Amino acid sequence: MIKKNKDNKKKRNDVKFYFILFLILITGIILVYSSYAWFSSSLNVQIYGFNVHVDHDSDLAISLDGQDWKQTINISKDSLINNLTSTYPNHTNRWSEYMSTVSTIGLLNNDYKFGVFSNDRPFNRNGYMSGNDYIYTRLVDESEPNLKSTYFAFDIFIRNNTNSPYSDNLFITNEKNLFVPETEDDEYILNALRFGMVYVGTASKNATLNEIQNMNCVSTNCKQFIYEPSTTHTDGAIQMLKKRGIEMKNDSVIPTYAVYKEGDKINLWSGVYGSKVDFDNNYFAYQNTITNLDNPIFELPSGISKYRIYIWVEGEDVDVIKTSSPGYRLIFGIDFEKDTAGYR
């Protein structure tokens, strides 16, 4: 009898254990498919083809260290990080095998680097989560090179071989092919991708390598732009926002309010335009983007100009709604060209 009671108790405990386990599993599934992608640690975006090119006929040359000049550079982990150890020892480039969500409005201070913020407590496959509607924002440290970043950031140098006292105009000529998805399914991620660029300054063609590499916003007047490659919206995002009281059509523009400050337990919906949660300007600010590259991106003086490039998945974009995905694969390439405004 005692043994039978023990067996019955064990069965009840087993049933209770598996019932609780089942509830945890179901809850986890609900969170995965109803959460905003800021919680994601598995929204993997891979850039598997990567190059930067300048027009052969425009008297331009490009470099990753300010001394080795070419017309085309294939960007890789080695060319961006490892091979610059001796030629550009104080670079702070970042390489990403798989990008996931971060947020930025761009330049924050006199540094020439974007202020990029991550979510310190993302949802992951082990079920750890910060809270259904909260993020814990942390400023990413860009003081050292990084081979395992969640976004791309790197310096480039463009040499403009003119003797004109007036600037030319710098263009990006391949807007439609800047990001090329591997498959139609991969086009989803275009809705939340961003490409940013900072003009740091221009040194003379006779400047020392130290002067060229160490240009910064303290000694120059930095300028920036953020390019948003797609303003269309997924059906999932439209339905998600409808539940939040936001009526959004596929061709409507929903501004992005990105993170610009560190903080704990910030309601992510307080940074979404038109949501039922009061807007929180203590942590979110308007991300000023351009949606086409028809116009010149910067003036291009004679000499050697320094720029910094950023590529990331914007966590506060309303089209980032998945917390888990099989991954997205893209080819990325920039074609630079100039006009001859300096001779007019």
Same domain, 30 and 43: no
Same domain, 93 and 228: yes
The Cα–Cα gap between 173 and 181 comes to: 18
pLDDT tens per residue, range 22-54: 222 222 222 222 334 554 444 455 566 666 666
The Cα–Cα gap between 102 and 130 comes to: 16
pLDDT tens per residue, range 191-229: 889 999 999 999 999 999 999 999 988 766 799 999 998
The Cα–Cα gap between 178 and 29 comes to: 35
- CA distances to 66, 100, 102, 142, 292 from 92, rounded to whole Å, are 14, 19, 18, 6, 29
Rg (alpha carbons) of the chain, rounded to whole number: 24
Say which range, 52-56, 162-166, 240-244, has the weakest mean pLDDT.
52-56
Same domain, 338 and 198: yes
The answer to whether residue 279 scores a pLDDT higher than 80 is yes
* Range with the largest mean pLDDT of 14-28, 196-210, 318-332: 196-210
Question: What's the chain's average pLDDT?
Answer: 80
Same domain, 254 and 143: yes
Same domain, 1 and 108: no
pTM: 0.84
Provide the total of helices (H) and of strands (E) in the chain, helices listed first: 4, 17
Same domain, 71 and 120: yes
Same domain, 14 and 109: no
Residue 31 is predicted with a pLDDT of 28
Same domain, 60 and 194: yes
Question: What torsion, rounded to 10 degrees, do the Cα atoms 111, 230, 120, 222 define?
Answer: 0
52 phi, psi to nearest 5 deg: -125, 135
Query: Which of 180, 121, 116, 181 has its CA nearest to residue 150?
Result: 116
Residue 32 is predicted with a pLDDT of 29
Same domain, 15 and 47: no
Query: Which of 178, 180, 179, 159 has its CA nearest to residue 170?
Result: 159
Q: Count CB atoms within 10 A of the CB of residue 135.
A: 29
Percent of the chain with pLDDT over 90: 42
3-state secondary structure of 6: helix
Same domain, 122 and 9: no
Same domain, 136 and 103: yes
Tokens (6 digits) for 260: 């610009």
Range of the domain at 4: 1-34
Q: What single DSSP character describes residue 334? A: E
Contact 87, 65 (CB under 8 A): yes
Count how many domains the chain has.
2
Same domain, 22 and 71: no
**Higher pLDDT residue, 329 or 323?**
329
